Amino acid sequence: MSFLRRRKGTDSSKSQNLRCNIVKEDEKNNLYESPRKESYNSKKSSCWDSCCWFIGFVCSVWWFLLLLYNTMPASIPQYVTEAITGPLTDPPGVKLRKEGLTVNHPVVFVPGIVTGGLELWEGHQCAEGLFRKRLWGGSFGELYKRPLCWAQHMSLDNETGLDPPGIRVRPVSGLVAADYFAAGYFVWAVLIANLAQIGYEEKTMYMAAYDWRLSFQNTEVRDQTLSRIKSNIELMVATNGGKKVVVIPHSMGVLYFLHFMKWVEAPPPMGGGGGSEWCAKHIKAVMNIGGPFLGVPKSVSGLFSVEARDIAIARTFAPGFLDKDVFGLQTFQHLMRMTRTWDSTMSMIPKGGETIWGELDWSPEGSSFNCGAKTLRNNSINNTDQIPNINLANMKNVNYGRIISFGKDVAEAHSSKIERVDLLQDSMKADMLANLTNCDIWIEYHDIGDHRIKAVADYKVYTAGSILDLLHFVSPKLMARGGAHFSYGIADNLDDPKYQHYKYWSNPLETKLPDAPDMEIYSMYGVGIPTERAYVYKVTTATDCSIPFQIDTSVEGGSEDSCLKGGVFSADGDETVPVLSAGLMAAKGWRGKTRFNPSGIPTYIREYSHAPPANLLEGRGTQSGAHVDIMGNFALIEDIIRVAAGATGKELGGDHVYSDIFKWAERINLQL
């Protein structure tokens, strides 16, 4: 029994030892496995922790910087900017206030095409809730929300050029009409702010807002805008001690005010009845900024194919997309149909024909300037003569006179080697066709047929002398309306009674300046930017509902310095208006006593060489010569403020020229 007890005890102890060993092995295994599990879990948790910490860190830094920005003194951002870019010059208004300049002559702003706001006063059901909301300018919110309704309300009547039935869109009034085109994109705001620095306010500043879609005379017919401008100028002179106004038109506003000066002198009912001395009594100076006095080639491409350089490039990156019916939209067709109801666009068709713009084998510019040249920055607005002239006399000759060419070979060949089919003869053979297509959007191209489209291309090349025939051929309704309001020739005899009609008043080659020898006229514009001057086109192979002509963006000049890029020939200018158009009248047509300037009004050319902003902190720059950005150019603003404060053109220093405008003027055979 004891043996059994001992054996049982022995077995019991062995079993116990075995269990202990198993437990120890399990513990050992657990000890071996647990670091691996912990390592895996720790890696997983550390990844999440890192992400959370990173997000938290970014948010904390963002909120901290936001707190600092809202609590720091206003001078700190300026200090940071100066630390990066160097000392900032005072804005012109601040600088001139320190010199003792104060408010003197009232100023009148005349905005250009598309920069003035338009608001809805009456519309169709699709425009419900938009009463007095901006359709043009501001956020353009309605363009995104209801684009077809927006295009319908922005269009004018295709027969009358006035309001369509049931729609009234009117210009916004006051300085807010054109201070900003869209949020953060200034037009007149910087100039207004600088004038305010020397004491100007709303009673001494007036924005002559108008509906820029209408022909100039129709702004008076529909809205009495010309009469309102006349009354406001008379009021400003009367309430400011008899001091004459300084008028500052920009872009197409230059042509609009040229029309106004003839309208205000002319007897009623066609004119304002102010008499021949009105301008002499009320206007000290007209300071034209970026004035397309003789038109712009860009208007031709816009009317012909709704294109300019940037749009043509966009079509290249998205071929066919903007032409097709995507999401219910045919963008280019809608755009063409809408803009071809805007009669004002025809005011900027090139004027003066081949005499001004050149022939098949000749143009005043002769050669292109170096489109690849880098413009040097010049931080002193009083020392701009240090900026080098970018025009190079030895550049390759360009046939700028050929505003439209079908094919690069046609654009570059001598005229004797170009075989052309007479467009006018072809047009007589083919009758206008009824619109038999199934296109949702009617445009005039749908009526002319394939034969006429081929005839346009077969004529090969168009100069300023034949461009009008081309536009009459492809858009007869548009040009029929335009022909009643605008003219594009050169007058043989300005005393001919026919030139008393308003259709000639916005063409400086077919009208006389006012009898106001004490008034001054300035042509102020940017130079040094490649500006559209001529185009290479092709016939598209798209569907019947598309626009049949397109800038051929595959055409290049072959070198970095070439001014043929993307199917567009460029010349010197401000990116929109060539120097030839902006400066020729002041350089020759109005220089001294001429038949266009019988009283000898002094004229001055003030050119501003373009210099891009050095970095993003400069925004659109203070030395820009671009067509709209020049409105923030410190040198230009300083010139304007000095004249508004009483200075004359001679006191400014007279002409300030970088381009070859005087050389080109000598080459133009303009009877004076």
562, 371 contact by CB (below 8 A): yes
Radius of gyration of the chain (CA): 34
- From residue 442, give the alpha-carbon distance in Å to each of 312, 313, 340, 439, 469: 22, 25, 12, 7, 22
| 3 state SS of 387 | coil
| Residue among 379, 385, 376, 380 at smallest CA distance from 610 | 376
Instruction: Tell me the CB-side half-sphere exposure of residue 405, using CA atoms within 13 A.
Output: 29
- From residue 468, give the alpha-carbon distance in Å to each of 66, 353, 449, 654: 58, 9, 20, 37
Q: Which of 211, 343, 574, 639 is catalytic?
A: 574
Cis preceding-peptide flag for 476 (omega within 30 of 0): no
- Measured CA to CA, the distance from residue 171 to residue 302 in angstroms comes to 23
Written as six digits, the tokens of 457 are: 């291309």
Told to judge if 13 belongs to the known catalytic residues of this protein, a careful annotator would answer: no
- Measured CA to CA, the distance from residue 356 to residue 294 in angstroms comes to 8
Q: Which residues contact 453 (CB under 8 A, 6 or more apart)?
A: 445, 539, 548, 549
- State the SS3 of 477-491: HHHHHHHCCCCCCCC
Give how far the C-alpha of residue 398 lies from the chain's centroid of Cα atoms, to the nearest Å. Answer: 25
Written as six digits, the tokens of 87 are: 């000392």
Q: Which of 485, 627, 629, 659 is catalytic?
A: 627
Q: Which residues contact 392 (CB under 8 A, 6 or more apart)?
A: 367, 369, 370, 373
Give how far the C-alpha of residue 179 lies from the chain's centroid of Cα atoms, to the nearest Å. Answer: 15
Instruction: Tell me the CB-side half-sphere exposure of residue 275, using CA atoms within 13 A.
Output: 5
- Measured CA to CA, the distance from residue 300 to residue 315 in angstroms comes to 18
Question: What single-letter DSSP state applies at residue 165?
Answer: T
- From residue 85, give the alpha-carbon distance in Å to each of 73, 270, 613, 618: 20, 55, 11, 9
- Measured CA to CA, the distance from residue 652 to residue 642 in angstroms comes to 8
Q: Which of 155, 163, 215, 251 is catalytic?
A: 251
Told to judge if 574 belongs to the known catalytic residues of this protein, a careful annotator would answer: yes
Which amino acid, residue 125?
A: Q
399, 534 contact by CB (below 8 A): yes
Told to judge if 251 belongs to the known catalytic residues of this protein, a careful annotator would answer: yes
| Residues designated catalytic | 251, 574, 627
